[in-house]
Amino acid sequence: MTRSPFPDAPRPSRLNALRGTLIVSVQADDGSPLRDVTHIVALSRAALLGGAAGLRLRSGEDIRAVRAVTDVPVIGLTKRAQPGSPVYITATPGEVQEVARAGADIVAFDGTDLPRPFPVADLVRAAHGAGALAMADISTLGEARAAYAAGADIVGTTMSGYTPHSPQQPGPDFALMRALHAAGLPFIAEGRLNTPALAAQALATGALAVVVGSAITRPDHVTRWFAAALRPDPAQAARAGETS
């Protein structure tokens, strides 16, 4: 039998505190000038100053450092390559426990159908055993149903576009959000929500909360967007050369 998700069941208080709010993902890629934990703390404090109600953080080190300066709800995760598997977001029970013990209220993990070292149910048990809530990052409605059946407390649309069986598109997967809402499956919206208007649209589509990352905390990514927009179109440049 499929587990009854929210809102029919009582919501844990940390999820309830995030209802209708902005969660900022504060992560920096390896090799980024912002990867140092002191920069992660500064970015987190800036996001909270701007009105974020929660944070999504990568690694136990980052979580511990940010937890020392705030008590807002934290979604924690790891990103590590796994032998023989494309899954890299909090892929093992040990990583789940690591994140929870660092101070995360909610542990996010890959909840997709990709080949994985451990089933979703094992990751859910590890999160609950460590006193944290379990968030499955999914890419399809079927994966969301399976995650709830395995005991997940919430799902996120994070992985849409990052699995071969989900839509490959430049914008947010609003079709998935509408399907989750129609099925009565609570979700946190995440993925390519890079303008205030798109974030508001996701909330209006039925999301419990909205996660925004790159557009707020990754200036290198945002700079690439602007640089690409200003770069001459090759076909247009060729036509201009023909008429000069």
Given a cut of 80, is residue 6 above it in pLDDT?
A: no
Per-residue pLDDT, 13: 83
Average pLDDT of the residues of the chain:
92
Once rounded to an integer, what is the mean pLDDT over residues 106-114? Answer: 98
Of the candidates 60, 79, 51, 54, which has an alpha carbon nearest to the alpha carbon of residue 154?
Answer: 54
Q: What is the 3-state secondary structure (H, E, C) of 106-174?
A: EEEEECCCCCCCCCHHHHHHHHHHCCCEEEEECCCHHHHHHHHHCCCCEEECCCCCCCCCCCCCCCCCH
Sign of the C-alpha dihedral computed for residues 142, 132, 188 and 17 taken in this order = positive
What global pTM score does this model have? 0.91
Per-residue pLDDT, 187: 98
- Residue 184 backbone class (left: φ over 0; alpha: ψ -120 to 50; beta: rest): left
Once rounded to an integer, what is the mean pLDDT over residues 19-27? Answer: 98
Once rounded to an integer, what is the mean pLDDT over residues 11-39? Answer: 92
Given a cut of 90, is residue 139 above it in pLDDT?
A: yes
The two tokens of residue 110 are 């890959």
Per-residue pLDDT, 97: 98
Rounded Cα–Cα distance for residues 234 and 164 (Å): 29
Given a cut of 50, is residue 146 above it in pLDDT?
A: yes
Of the candidates 68, 40, 42, 69, which has an alpha carbon nearest to the alpha carbon of residue 56?
Answer: 40
Per-residue pLDDT, 232: 85
Do you find a cis peptide bond into 7, omega within 30 degrees of 0? yes
Per-residue pLDDT, 236: 60
Given a cut of 90, is residue 50 above it in pLDDT?
A: yes
Per-residue pLDDT, 11: 43
Give the helix ranges, DSSP H, for the chain: 13-16, 37-50, 60-67, 93-102, 120-129, 141-149, 174-182, 196-204, 214-217, 219-230, 234-243
Rounded Cα–Cα distance for residues 42 and 78 (Å): 20
What are the tens digits of pLDDT across the range 70-96? 999 999 999 999 999 999 999 999 999
Split at pLDDT 50, 70, 90, the class of 10 is very low
Domain ranges of the chain: 13-218
Split at pLDDT 50, 70, 90, the class of 9 is very low
The fold for domain 13-218 equals TIM Barrel (3.20.20)
Per-residue pLDDT, 130: 97
Given a cut of 80, is residue 163 above it in pLDDT?
A: yes
